[in-house]
Chains A and B, each alone.
Chain A
């Protein structure tokens, strides 16, 4: 078995190698080896009914060398980070953290489904936070609509107006004073954090 041997370098699938490397970098990440395919995660997941691969099937697909298919599907973008799977897993697998890792991999390897809206939101969110230090709802929503559904934006107008009238649509965005400070910190990250908590370029310590 691929996982029981801890054969990170020996698998036949480069994507799986990267995935496993990154997952092992998450605290308790190695618990993925202990998945017993019980399906508690899938049964606990509020959105698994709409997923192409349920959470249990993601791990099965990974073991079968089919991770790419998972990343190309809608599955991971339906995870709402509710952590129900994580707290119920009898093997202690931090599945929500693994979902985040899969999202990062899908974007990094350009595998996220075409026309998928969630990666667009994530990228815009990061872009705005990187500029201002905080999120600003109106720029986020308007840029999102422009990129994904410019015509649908009209449908949003009445709703936006109703929120605005009630003072629930903050228009102005705020830039924090500590932006330069944050950029300095980010620039000094000792490891090239493409994804995951471990740099892939450095050797594993002690293992």
Chain B
């Protein structure tokens, strides 16, 4: 995973007293590319992660929406599809593994908003990002296809969290439109076009930075702006940060600790302008 997302996630969870432990010996969830070759084996990969999480008697928390969708899908199929369940159970049994179906698969954003809550988040704020205008970008798979976290097309869960830490989310109609990240390696022209749409919308709405909850969206939006500009003759230079990085800043952690200076488009000037230290 992206190092900055990792670092900032760990710090924010620690500050919020979330008992976060890396799943021991986890494997690939079997998302998209694997699913395009062998569906059942993709679900088997996913099922092994569920087995490992069940052993720990904990919720399985992810920060990647594609992992969220794949793991949730496997979990649903195991609960609802008897034939599917038999196939996976038999396979797991060959290695003396068993899944009883007790694991909840969750995205960290949802855990923070629903489980930790507004009061606890606000209680930890040491700095204010006053007036920073950000485009809350959810991407595709946080809410689709299942919609368990929020509305499938116009969620507000990230908007709410941002207001708790003193950041102003702009009205962002493309918040769940695809950024093209998955197509970047294979269909560059199409991917850059989708990326441009997100950037143009953010700029038009007056956002000074884009906040993401997905490592692939972040990679795409953050590192391909130069290519977008070249292709479309635009001049985008919009920093993109993970939601955990903004939270970490508000909680008083340094930019370095949060991996904020690792991006291609520096957010330094922007943050210096808005970061207000309390008392």
Binding site for B on A (CB under 8 A): 27, 46-47, 50, 77-78, 80-84, 86-87, 94, 96, 100-101, 103-104, 107, 116-119, 121-123, 125-126, 129, 133-135, 141, 144, 159, 162-163, 166-168, 170, 176-178, 181-182, 184-191, 193, 195-198, 205
**Contacting residue for B27 out of A46, A107, A133, CB 8 A:** A133
**Contacting residue for A186 out of B44, B97, B144, CB 8 A:** B44
Question: Residue of B at shortest CB range from A22?
Answer: B39
Question: Residue of A at shortest CB range from B76?
Answer: A27
CB of B28 within 8 Å of the partner chain: yes
Question: Residue of B at shortest CB range from A180?
Answer: B95
Q: Contact: A46 with B87, CB < 8 Å? A: no
CB of B128 within 8 Å of the partner chain: no
Which residues of B have CB within 8 Å of A118? 36, 183, 186-187
Chain B: interface residue count, which band? 35 or more
Q: Contact: A188 with B36, CB < 8 Å? A: no
Given contacts A86-B144, A123-B37, A189-B91, contact A81 B32 (CB under 8 A): yes
Binding site for A on B (CB under 8 A): 2-4, 25-28, 30, 32-41, 44-45, 48, 66, 69, 77, 80-81, 83-84, 86-87, 90-95, 97, 140-141, 144-145, 147, 152-153, 177-178, 180-183, 185-187, 189-190, 194, 223, 259, 262-264
Q: Contact: A117 with B38, CB < 8 Å? A: no
Chain A min CB distance to B35 (Å) = 5
Interchain Cβ contacts under 8 Å between A and B, 26 examples: A27-B80, A47-B180, A80-B182, A84-B144, A94-B145, A104-B38, A117-B187, A119-B36, A121-B185, A129-B27, A129-B34, A133-B28, A141-B185, A167-B3, A167-B259, A168-B262, A170-B3, A176-B27, A178-B48, A182-B48, A188-B91, A188-B93, A188-B94, A193-B38, A195-B38, A197-B40
Q: Contact: A96 with B145, CB < 8 Å? A: yes
Which residues of A have CB within 8 Å of B263? 166
Given contacts A84-B178, A87-B147, contact A178 B28 (CB under 8 A): no
CA distance in complex: A125, B35 (Å): 10
Chain B min CB distance to A137 (Å) = 10
Q: Contact: B94 with A184, CB < 8 Å? A: yes
Chain A min CB distance to B82 (Å) = 10
Question: Residue of B at shortest CB range from A134?
Answer: B28
CA distance in complex: A196, B77 (Å): 13
Which residues of A have CB within 8 Å of B83? 197-198, 205
Q: Contact: B39 with A122, CB < 8 Å? A: no
Chain A min CB distance to B155 (Å) = 12
Q: Contact: B45 with A182, CB < 8 Å? A: yes
Question: Residue of A at shortest CB range from B191?
Answer: A80
Q: Contact: A189 with B35, CB < 8 Å? A: no
Given contacts A27-B80, A167-B3, A190-B90, contact A185 B95 (CB under 8 A): yes
**Contacting residue for B3 out of A82, A119, A168, A190, CB 8 A:** A168
Chain A min CB distance to B89 (Å) = 9
- Which of B30, B44, B94 counts the most A-chain CB atoms under 10 A from its CB? B94
**Contacting residue for A190 out of B2, B87, B182, CB 8 A:** B87
Given contacts A178-B25, A182-B45, A197-B84, contact A121 B194 (CB under 8 A): no
Q: Contact: B40 with A104, CB < 8 Å? A: no
Given contacts A185-B48, A191-B40, contact A77 B187 (CB under 8 A): yes
Question: Residue of A at shortest CB range from B147?
Answer: A87
Q: Contact: B40 with A83, CB < 8 Å? A: no
Q: Contact: A189 with B44, CB < 8 Å? A: yes
Other A-B contacts than A103-B36, A176-B25, 17 sampled, CB-CB below 8 A, are A27-B77, A47-B180, A81-B140, A86-B144, A87-B144, A87-B152, A87-B153, A100-B39, A104-B37, A126-B33, A163-B223, A166-B263, A178-B48, A189-B44, A191-B87, A193-B38, A196-B40
Q: Contact: A196 with B34, CB < 8 Å? A: no
Q: Contact: A83 with B190, CB < 8 Å? A: no
Which residues of A have CB within 8 Å of B259? 167
Q: Contact: B45 with A129, CB < 8 Å? A: yes
**Contacting residue for A27 out of B81, B153, B187, CB 8 A:** B81
CA distance in complex: A159, B153 (Å): 33
Q: Contact: B25 with A190, CB < 8 Å? A: no
Q: Contact: B180 with A80, CB < 8 Å? A: yes
